[in-house]
Amino acid sequence: MKLPAWLRKTLVAAITVCTFGLVTPPASLLAAEEPPADDAPSSDWQHNAASSAAEAASLTRAQFVEQTVEKAMVQSHEKFGRKIAPVIEDEFRAVILPRIEEVIAELAGRYPEEELRYLAVSENPSGGQGERIFHIYRADTGEDVIRFHVRREHPPQDGYWFQFHYHTRDDGFQAHYELGKIYWSKNTPPNWRT
């Protein structure tokens, strides 16, 4: 039985989020999707600026926040990789993710509901020592609106910490707005996405 593309995507995201990426979704869900018809734009609002008018019209603030937080969770897990994720997963979900959700809800409150369809979540968090987890940007213009990052801190005699923060376009992405910190250990953490 061939599942609709939106259902496959939902199931893949749900499996990934629920298991924090430790379980790979079945191959049947990861199978290549049918290309959209020329006159029917993609229904994946997070990756394509040309989302359908019917879907965009039905996207409420609550739905936007829920879908964006789901995507944030997936991007965060990808950023942490299999070495860091198991160590910080519980604290991230308990402390950092609710704060990210608050910031996303506040951002959604600044836009009329009909404009939320233009806000998309970036993919491919940075690896190595890079800070980027994900950005929320205007799909119609390509301009970043808010950037969610994590950096390593190593205060003298204190071990390593992951400091989660975000930047906004309101100040040209200059200020760091802290979301919280998670302690790693005295040992140097591995690179992101490993």
Residue 143 maps to a domain = yes
Q: Provide φ and ψ at 190, rounded to 5°.
A: -70, 170
One-letter amino acid at 102 equals E
For the chain, the average pLDDT equals 82
Quick one: 120 exposed, middle or buried, by C-beta within 10 A (0-12, 13-18, 19+)?
Answer: buried
Q: Does the pLDDT value for residue 44 go beyond 50?
A: no
Residue 166 maps to a domain = yes
Residue 141 maps to a domain = yes
Residue 30 maps to a domain = no
pLDDT of residue 72: 96
Q: Does the pLDDT value for residue 36 go beyond 80?
A: no
Q: What is the pLDDT of residues 68-121, one digit of tens each?
A: 999 999 999 999 999 999 999 999 999 999 999 999 999 999 999 999 999 999
Residue 63 maps to a domain = yes
What total of structural domains would you count in the chain? Answer: 1
* Reported confidence tier of residue 9, pLDDT bands at 50, 70, 90: confident
Look up the domain containing 63 and give its range.
Answer: 36-185
CB atoms within 10 A of CB 189: 20
Cα 133 from Cα 78, distance rounded (Å): 9
Residue 28 maps to a domain = no
Residue 7 maps to a domain = no
Residue 2 maps to a domain = no
Q: Does the pLDDT value for residue 34 go beyond 70?
A: no
